[in-house]
Amino acid sequence: MRMSEFSDKQRLAYCGAMTSDNATPTPAPSASFAAIQQLCAADMAAVDAVIRGELNSDVVLINQIGEHIVRAGGKRLRPLLVVLTARACGAGNIDVATRLAAVVEFIHTATLLHDDVVDESSLRRGRQTANALWGNAASVLVGDFLYSRAFQMMVGVDQMAVMKLLADTTNAIAAGEVLQLLHMGDPDLTESKYLDVIRRKTAILFAAACQLGAMSAGAGLSVQRSMYNYGMALGIAFQIADDVLDYAGDVGQIGKNVGDDLAEGKTTLPLILAQMRASAADVEAIRSAVRNADRLALSNVLDVIRSTDALDASLGRATDYADQATQSLPALARSASFDALEALARYAVQRVS
């Protein structure tokens, strides 16, 4: 059990100019996301350069939307996972990991662009979405451009195992998105079906990112599989926490509107757990709000969520998955990057409180 093995070990800091695992780690009470970002600053700057270079096209709108996406930035969690896992696996040369990190970010951005059409949401990461600015057509087509550019970049890396992992991953994501679409307005979504959806639509790309980092470092299949499992559990924890934030956050914090999921008729874990604990009348209020994708019912639904402690219960589940992520990590030599992977698992849940 890795968790108990390392449960009271000294926590490491990722602050300052530490961009290499050779730097001596300094103890700190708890790791922040900003510290992890600083640890990876040099690697992520390299990823950014690849992204900017590969977004280039002779079609001006592609450059414009590309630039919009690059500036929007976001946390770049998935490419961060590629470089962190590569470093944790002892990668000396980070060039391949850097390219694969950009590939993963392109695939993620393509799914965001296509999601925007599906969700018809107008605010993402606190900025107007591409489809609000350029229309559905551009979102669909620039998404396709990014998907196919990602596959071109994989051809450049020239490893069929990479190609297989990401072809399987993008296909699972698409199937997961369709599955989610089928459950729009469906208050009967069970916890197990919900997990099936978020595994496919979100967590699998975290998993692939972590396996890619290991592959790029030349790690064996067993380490690759462990990293994949770490990423899968981490992705589930992140998504559950996101779904909690949809009822708990504010626009400034989550970069989208509170109650968006309800307004789309999306049943997420807070609503599933609230239904398990609420009175018959309150259950019916939730079910009706989901069926009618009724944002106006938000304040009622929030009352039920509060009275049933459904957000805390959801975060409890997220914590379980974060723990599972940590336990899945392969037995590698400690390093700042390895510790950052553990810290990310904590951060997945802590950022909500």
Q: Which residue has the tokens 């490491």?
A: 12
Conformational region of residue 265, where left means phi above 0, alpha means psi within -120 to 50, and beta covers everything else: left
Closest CB to its own copies among 6 and 151? 151
Element (H, E) at 217: none
The residues near 109 (Cβ < 8 Å, ≥ 6 apart) are: 69, 143, 146
Contact between 40 and 19 (Cβ < 8 Å): yes
Burial of 32 (0-12, 13-18, 19+ CB in 10 A): middle
- Quick one: 41 or 133, whose CB is closer to its own copies? 133
Quote the least distance from Cβ 176 to its own copies, whole Å: 8
3-state secondary structure of 128: strand
With binding defined as CB under 8 A, does residue 178 bind its own copies?
yes
Shortest Å, Cβ 182 to its own copies: 6
61, 117, 173, 182, 258 from 139: Cα distances, Å: 11, 7, 17, 22, 23
**Tokens of residue 285, six digits:** 């209020």
Using CB under 8 A as the binding rule, whether residue 23 contacts its own copies is answered as no
Contacting its own copies (CB under 8 A), which of 132, 179, 195, 293? 179
In the region spanning residues 92 to 121, those forming contacts with its own copies, defined by CB under 8 A, are 111, 114, 117-118
Rounded Cα distance, 253 and 351, in Å: 10
Largest interatomic CA distance in the chain: 60
> What number of chain residues touch its own copies (CB under 8 A)?
42
CB of 213 to its own copies, least distance (A): 20
Query: Which C-beta is closer to its own copies: that of 111 or that of 314?
Result: 111
Query: Residue 19: what are its φ and ψ, rounded to 5°?
Result: -115, 5
Return the residues of window 40-69 that contact its own copies according to CB under 8 A: 57-62
Q: Is 130 exposed, middle or buried (0-12, 13-18, 19+ CB in 10 A)?
A: buried
CA angle 331, 334, 336 (to 5 degrees): 130
From the list 81-89, 153-161, 212-220, 341-349, the region that binds its own copies by CB under 8 A is: 153-161
Among the listed residues 3, 17, 34, 155, the single contact to its own copies using CB under 8 A: 155
- Examine residue 173 and tell whether it contacts its own copies (CB under 8 A): yes
Regarding 205 and contact with its own copies (CB under 8 A), the answer is no
Residue 221 Cβ vs its own copies, minimum distance, rounded to whole Å: 17
Is residue 2 a contact partner of residue 326, using CB atoms and an 8 Å limit?
yes
152 binds its own copies (CB under 8 A): yes
Please report how close the Cβ of residue 240 comes to its own copies at its closest, in angstroms: 22
Residue with Cβ nearer its own copies (65 or 349): 65
Q: Is 222 in the site for its own copies (CB under 8 A)?
A: no
Decide whether 21 or 115 has the Cβ nearer to its own copies: 115
| Closest to 312 measured CA to CA, from 234, 230, 238, 247 | 247
- Closest CB 85 distance from its own copies, rounded Å: 22
Restricting to residues 122-151, which ones interact with its own copies according to CB under 8 A?
136-138, 140-142, 144-145, 147-149, 151
Extract the tokens encoding 347: 């951060």
- Bridge partner residues of 128 (DSSP): 123
- Please tell me whether residue 158 binds its own copies under the rule CB under 8 A: yes
Task: From 284, 304, 269, select the one nearest 192 (Cα to Cα).
Answer: 269
Residue ranges binding its own copies (CB under 8 A): 57-62, 111, 114, 117-118, 136-138, 140-142, 144-145, 147-149, 151-152, 154-155, 158, 160, 163-164, 166-168, 170-171, 173-175, 177-179, 181-182
